[in-house]
Structures are given as structure tokens and as C-alpha cells.
Structure 1
């Protein structure tokens, strides 16, 4: 188990390094390959209608006139240990993980992301509990009652849930159940108000994912219930409840675990549509505002944060796999 854990940790670190290289290349190398000059690249970091003096200051501050390997080294240094930025004659230290300063607010990007991660995490984890419980339960019951009215109704509802976009179901739910809108309240201030304001976003987001999970669990259960070891368990006289929960369901949930981990990782990186629909001040809405404002440091920070969550989610799934199925430790 120790060797398996070390391999997975080293793999996660390597993946984070590769992610940092790709992210750096997207923001700093690809524009040059597309024909942009250093001045044009620096102009994007200044804002609209920049003067030549502002462009020169930005080039010096960000080191855009230096070789790419030095720029990447400064980028990694900022993320790991922080870096200094020059603002005219003054220098300011940006603590790690440093993704730079926002063009619009002139604030470090990382504290803004930290302020919004709690909102996104509240949305993601609350909705995930609902969709996991509902999706697995409905999928199992549909498989055990294949061809019945419940099965057909559940699958039609699941098809609707997968097909309808979040912004449609979200806006419809606001019109029907909360025309005054959602006003997010931190859980530390008022837990009841926090849950009350997130209940509708939880249900809307869970409806989409529960529908997908129900279809996947149903298909997995139908395949598993026809396996030889299931017939053997029944032939030995095991109760049907034991056959379903301890044998069939355990095998079915193994691939669901992978999907669940990736979904959580992606949502923690920003539930863009849900947060925009309900005006939740999370990472997803922060990313939309950053794109609209052409605030590249904010976009860079969101990209790295989302990649980090996906990598960590993959690592957790691998470790849970080893617990659920010891064969993967080899």
C-alpha cells in the first residue's frame, strides 16, 4: 500500500507540473506562436488604449522581455514561494501562491479566489450529496424493476434531466419558487439562511447529475445482475438484499466512483452556469467576470485552481479505488 501511495503522489505532482507548463504556454507562448509581439502581449495586461510608456512598464514588471524559460521560472516561483512585482520605484511582495495582480482591482488574485472557493465548495458538496443518493437509489430500483412504470418514468425523467441545460432549469426554478432571487449568506453568519439560499441551486444542479448517475447505475446493475457470481450467490441461499447491496451494487459503484471524483473536481473549479444563474459569488462567476473584463491574471488563477482540484480529485479517486479493490494496488 505504501508503494502504491508513493506512486500516486509522485504522479499527482508530475501532473501538476505538466499542468503548470501547459497553462503557462497557453497564456505566454501560444500568443507568440500566433504572431503577437511582446508589446502586443504586454498591452493585453495593461488594459484598453495603453500608452507606450505603460506597455514598457508592464514588460519590465512581468519580465515579458526575458527568455521564456526565465519567465516560466518566475511563474513557478510565484506559485511556490511568491515573487516581487515592481510598481515604479516601489516593489511589492506577492505571497504564494501568487498568480499576479488583478488589472481592475489591483489586488492579488489568490485572496479573491480564497474568498470565493467557500461558495463554490458549499454548492458542489451540497449538490453532490443529493445527486449521489438520489441517482444511485433511482438507478438501483429501476434496474430491479426493469420494464415497470417506475423504471420507464424514472428513465424519462433522467433523460429530461440530462437534456435540459442548467440555465433553463435554474431560471424556471427561480420564477416558480424564488422570484426574489437568491442572496448568499456565509454558513459562519447564519447556517439556516445559508442552507435556505443554497437549497434551490443544490436541487437544480443535483437534478442534472442525478439523472446521469441514475442511467449509469441502472445500466451497470442490469449488466452485473446477469453475472455468474450473482447467480452463485443466489444459489447459495443468500438473501436478495445481500446479493444486491454487497455483491451487485459494490461492483456497479466502482466506475461511479471515478465519475463522482472528476465531477467534484470540475465543480470545485467553478460551477459557471449555476453560479451565474443564481448570482452566487463563487469561482465560476469570478471566472466569467474575469473574462468579460479581459483580466488575464484572474483567468490564469482560475485555470490553475481548477486544474489543481481536478488533479487532487483524481488522486483521491485512485486512493479510494485501492481501498475498494485491492487488485489495483499491484
Structure 2
């Protein structure tokens, strides 16, 4: 296991370096001049030259990339702007602050939204899928299948706006969605994120219900499950010890991808409810052409997905004894 994790971490580091190189090229070579964006619409040539020097844009592209990559480990000095301590992901010429500080400030919002919604859609999705598989062909199975199809067809901005209108502004069932640090007010933190959790969970629950049902139905027809039943094991033991364990492998796979994606930024959800997380930050970076911030959010999303893939691969050996990591 240790050897496997070491190889995967090294491979992940290589992947992130490649992604950082691609994003650096896309955001600093192809788009408009970042120095002119930092300088403003009315920018004399001398001021523009000074802005390029302050941002390090007067150096070759390879030197810029190496300097940016080194800043992640040892920090970097920006003349006229100040020192960016390690890990330095660049200096935002819009916020006039190191990008890493902004990411750290927004990350708790995205993590809280991701974790809360994940608990809901994973619990309800898997439970509903199991029940539907055990009641295959019956009314409950049909209701679960239709509901999951309807849920998967919904869009967050539509469901979120609709539920906010009826349950926040009309019925006053839920408080206004907002983020309050859990250390300041746990009750306010829970209430402010409850509706975004529910809306995000509605979309994802449908996928997990369908995936769990189809996999569970397939596993219930396997030889080892029939053998366990023939030996006189109870129905609950057969489902929990055998059928469910085989079902968890694809569930863990898609959950790892979904969790990494959400940590990288639930853009539509955060925008719909006005939550200032990583997704909202990336949208603002696009609006203001804040290239360092935009590149940092891309790397955060890529890093989250790569990290979750490593965790998923390690969990395979725990869930399925047939899997051996070498």
C-alpha cells in the first residue's frame, strides 16, 4: 500500500506540473496582456513597461513559468507590489493581494457546501437505490426510477431560484442562504447553508440512486450472493455483507470524482445563492480578467480531483478484497 501511494503521489505531482504548464501558457500567452489589464484603460507606455516589470512579464515565458513554479515552494517578490510568501500562486492585480490568501479565505465556504451536500446525496441516493433494487419491479422501484430521472433533468439555477422564492421569501421556512463561520455561530452556519445543500443534493441524489439500483440488481444475481442465500444467511446479511460491498466500488468511484469537482468550485450553486466560495471567485476572475486568480482556481480544482482519485484507488483495496494494490 505504501509503495502504491508513493507512486500515485509522484504521478499526481507530475500531472499537476503538466496542468500548471498548460494553464500558464493558456492564461499568460494566449489572452490579452495582463500588464495592460493591471495598468488600466488609460496607461502611458512608461507605466505599462513598469507594470510588466512588476509582474515579471518582461522576461521570457519559460523564465516566467519557472519563477511562478518556484514561488509555490519558496515564495516570490513582486517589485512595487510586495512579497508573496510560499505557497505563492501569483499576485492578483485586481485584489492587490497574493492569490493564495484569497483562495484560503474562500475555501471554507466551498468545503462546507461540498461536505454538507455530499452527506445528504450520498446517504439518500445509496439508500434509495438499495430499496429500489430490493423492490425491483414494484411501485416503490418505479417511483424511485421516475424521481431520479426527474431529478437528474433539473438544473441548479432553476431549482435553487424556485425554492428560494417559495421557501425563503414567501413561506419563510428557510433563512436567507449565506455563509457564517461555524466557529462564530454553528446554528447560523447550518441554517444559512441548508437550502444550498438540499438543492445541490437533489441533482446528485438522482445519479447515485440510479447507479446504486442498477449495480445492486446486478450483484444480487451473482453466484456468490445466491450461494450465501443457499447457506441460510438472512436477507439483511446477504445485502449488507455481499451485494452492498460489491455495489460500493462504482459508487466510490463517481463519489471521488464528484467530491473533487465540488471542492474545485460549485460554480452554479455558489452563484445562484451568492456564496463567496472558490466557484464564485473563478467567475469573478473571468469577469475582471484576473488571470493569476483564474489560474490558481484551475489548479485547485485539478489538485482536488487528482487527490480524490488517489483516495478512491486506495479505498478499492478496503472495499473489495479481490483488489490488491502492488
TM range (shorter): over 0.9
Q: Is the 8 A contact 2:130 2:216 kept in 1?
A: yes
* Cα distance in structure 2, aligned partners of 1:310 and 1:23: 16
SS of alignment partner, residue 93 of structure 1: strand
Residue 172 of structure 2 aligns with which residue?
A: none
Q: Contact between 1:47 and 1:103, CA under 8 Å: does it hold in 2?
A: no
Q: Do 2:56 and 2:78's aligned partners in 1 also have CA atoms closer than 8 Å?
A: no
TM-score, with structure 1 as normaliser:
0.92
Offset of residue 322 of structure 1: 2.6
Number of residue pairs aligned between Structure 1 and Structure 2: 320
Question: Counterpart in 2 of 1:63?
Answer: 56
Shift of 1:289: 1.4
CA deviation profile, 1:88-130 (whole Å, cap 9, x unmatched)? xxx6210122222222221221111111110110000000000
Residue aligned with 2:62, SS: helix
- What is the aligned partner in structure 1 of residue 254 from structure 2? 259
From 157, 178, 185, give the equivalent of 2:180. 185
Distance across 2 between alignment mates of 1:316 and 1:48: 47
Contact residue 34 and residue 291 of structure 2 kept, 8 A: no
* 1:42-121 correspondence to structure 2 within 5 Å: 42-87=35-80, 92-121=82-111
Shift of 1:41: 5.3
The question of 1:122 aligning with 2:112 is answered yes
Report the counterpart of residue 329 of structure 1 in structure 2: 325
Report the alpha carbon displacement of residue 211 of structure 1 after superposing the two structures with TM.
Answer: 0.7
Aligned equivalent of 1:163: 153
Of the structure 1 ranges 271-280 and 41-50, higher mean CA displacement relative to structure 2 is found in 41-50
Contact map agreement 2:278 2:297 (CA 8 A) in 1? yes
Where in structure 2 are there 5+ consecutive unaligned residues?
170-174
TM-superposed CA distance for 1:63, in Å, is: 2.6
Query: What does residue range 279-290 of structure 1 map to in structure 2 within 5 Å?
Result: 279-290=274-285
**What whole-Å deviation, never above 9, does each CA across 1:141-168 have from its counterpart, x for those lacking one?**
1111111111111111111111110000
Runs of 4+ aligned structure 1 residues displaced above 6 Å come to: none
Distance in 2 between residues matched to 1:54 and 1:140, nearest whole Å: 65
The yes-or-no answer on 1:294 pairing with 2:289 is yes
Runs of 5+ unmatched residues, structure 1: none
CA contact (8 A) 1:45 1:296 kept: no
Q: Could you say which residue in structure 2 is the equivalent of 1:174?
A: 164
**Residues of 2 paired with 1:294 and 1:5: CA distance?**
38
Pick one of 226, 231, 236 that aligns with 1:231. Answer: 226
Which whole-Å CA distance do the structure 2 matches of 1:41 and 1:100 have between them? 12
- Given that residues 219 and 246 in structure 2 are in contact (C-alpha distance below 8 angstroms), is that contact kept between their aligned partners in structure 1? yes
Task: Verify: 1:149 aligned to 2:144, yes or no.
Answer: no
Identify if the C-alpha distance between structure 1 residues 272 and 113 changes in structure 2 by more than 3 Å, giving closer, same or farther.
Answer: same
Q: CA RMSD in A?
A: 1.7
